[in-house]
Amino acid sequence: MGAHVSDAYGRPLDNLRIAVTRECNYRCFFCHIEGDPSGGPARIGTSPPQLKSDDYYVVAAAAGRLGIRAFKITGGEPLVRSDIASIISNIRDASGPDADISMTTNGYLLSAYAKALYDSGLRRVNVSLHSLDREHYKIITGVDGLDRVIDGIERALDVGLKVKVNVTVTKVNVNDVWDIIDFASSRGVAVQLIELQPVNEGLRVFKDMHVDLSYLESKLKEYSSKVVLRPLHNRPIYILKNGVTVEVVKPFNNPLFCAGCRRVRLLSDGRLTPCINYMGPGVNILRVLREARTKEEAIDGVVKALIKVNQLRKPFYMWPLGGDGHTLTSYNVAGRLALPKKVMSMATTPAGPTALPREVPLGEQTGKQL
């Protein structure tokens, strides 16, 4: 295990999110494609990957020398890469059996790949399941693929993968959340509710589709036997009385979320970026990978690149002191988004969102258990 590093704000770096492709077989109307400055996802066959499967061995080996032990494989849609199992094998070989390697997928191709993914070293998979209503699912994803995704979840469970279903909550599917939680309960899988993010395609629809998750959280807390805090992004996890765990991801205008960030991102063209909201050039490792004379030289070059991108890390949202010297106020540190600086949201009811905007209080101090 390598030496651990932190950024200038004292946040550790122990997580690498790897987008292995920009291509996707879906067209979700809110896709953030990991904040790739190139824009939205590419159609199949239009954006060949720049990194080869064995490049990811070098990346994982370099990351391990800096204490990074968690790797999330994303895209685009990672399963459109025919060599995806080889990519995971390379990361596993470089990082060792104790590393946490997981994947986020839309699930459309999961039934075909589940066994190979498990055999290559994958142990956890997040499957996007934004609705169990077929029409809502088609509106959100642009694909009539609900049955195939459910089959993929079943197959993943059969081969031994741990499954979590991801639900990006919007005004289209806010009333479908409880059906998904019931579905998860019947299959023993976890749920992750994700707030819509104003990044890439999500920025286009944010004002019309954003739903504040406060009402859902209040009901989750009511139905929970325990609530714990996950260190990554200070995410609350509600352990419901029926045993289902529901993790809530609320990144928008949330300094508490940023304070718990522990990751950087590797895009499919070889760019390392410090944040999903970062719009700069980042640090490109492609030249290092192609010009290194030995594998050790390549690993050393990627280590230096990771150190450099870590120096670029800063919270996108902060809590600076107000004019009185002690009042906390939230603001967008990068000033990238043309959105209100105050945290505004749509109040929600069991029947769906209303047109009553309200100010949301800033986050409170939290401990390991809420």
Does 31 belong to an annotated binding site? yes
Does 241 belong to an annotated binding site? no
Task: With beta carbons less than 8 A apart as the criterion, state whether 24 and 80 touch.
Answer: yes
Closest among 99, 85, 244, 238 to 165, alpha carbons compared: 244
Does 128 belong to an annotated binding site? yes
Measured CA angle at 367 (ends 313, 10), to 5 deg: 25
Task: With beta carbons less than 8 A apart as the criterion, state whether 125 and 161 touch.
Answer: yes
Does 258 belong to an annotated binding site? yes
In the 8-state DSSP scheme, what is residue 82? T
Does 76 belong to an annotated binding site? yes
Closest among 42, 38, 17, 74 to 281, alpha carbons compared: 38
Strand partners, 248: 193
Token pair belonging to 343: 């945290």
Token pair belonging to 262: 């522990």
What proportion of the chain, given as a percentage, has pLDDT over 90?
A: 82
Does 262 belong to an annotated binding site? no
**Span 177-211, pLDDT tens digits:** 999 999 999 999 999 999 999 999 999 999 999 99
> CB burial class (10 A; 0-12, 13-18, 19+) of residue 332?
middle
Residue type at 161?
L
CA atoms 66, 280, 77, 290: torsion sign: negative
Does 96 belong to an annotated binding site? no
Does 230 belong to an annotated binding site? no
Task: With beta carbons less than 8 A apart as the criterion, state whether 93 and 61 touch.
Answer: no
Q: Where are the domains of the chain?
A: 5-318
Alpha-carbon distances of 160 from 95, 122, 154, 163, 189, rounded to whole Å = 21, 10, 10, 9, 12
Does 164 belong to an annotated binding site? yes
Residue 355 confidence (pLDDT) above 50 = no
Token pair belonging to 22: 């920009």
**Span 307-328, pLDDT tens digits:** 999 999 999 998 766 666 666 6
Closest among 172, 132, 123, 174 to 150, alpha carbons compared: 132
Alpha-carbon gap, residue 188 to 107, rounded angstroms: 17
Give residue 1's pLDDT.
56
Q: Are strands 5-6 and 12-13 parallel, antiparallel or unpaired?
A: antiparallel
Radius of gyration of the chain (CA): 20
**Span 16-52, pLDDT tens digits:** 999 999 999 999 999 999 999 888 899 999 999 899 9
Does 314 belong to an annotated binding site? no
Question: Within 10 A of 131 (CB to CB), how many other CB atoms are there?
Answer: 22
Alpha-carbon gap, residue 227 to 22, rounded angstroms: 36
Closest among 50, 40, 44, 45 to 20, alpha carbons compared: 50
Does 17 belong to an annotated binding site? yes
Give residue 325's pLDDT.
61
In the 8-state DSSP scheme, what is residue 358? E
Alpha-carbon gap, residue 89 to 121, rounded angstroms: 6
Identify the H or E element spanning 86.
helix 84-95
Q: Are strands 15-19 and 245-249 parallel, antiparallel or unpaired?
A: unpaired
Alpha-carbon gap, residue 168 to 82, rounded angstroms: 27
Closest among 265, 292, 269 to 278, alpha carbons compared: 265
- pTM beyond 0.95: the answer is no
Task: Write the CATH number of the domain with boundaries 5-318.
Answer: 3.20.20.70
What proportion of the chain, given as a percentage, has pLDDT over 70?
A: 86
Q: Would you mind telling me the total number of residues written for the chain in this entry?
A: 370
**Span 120-175, pLDDT tens digits:** 999 999 999 999 999 999 999 999 999 999 999 999 999 999 999 999 999 999 99
Identify the H or E element spanning 144.
none
Give residue 347's pLDDT.
29
Task: With beta carbons less than 8 A apart as the criterion, state whether 286 and 50 touch.
Answer: yes
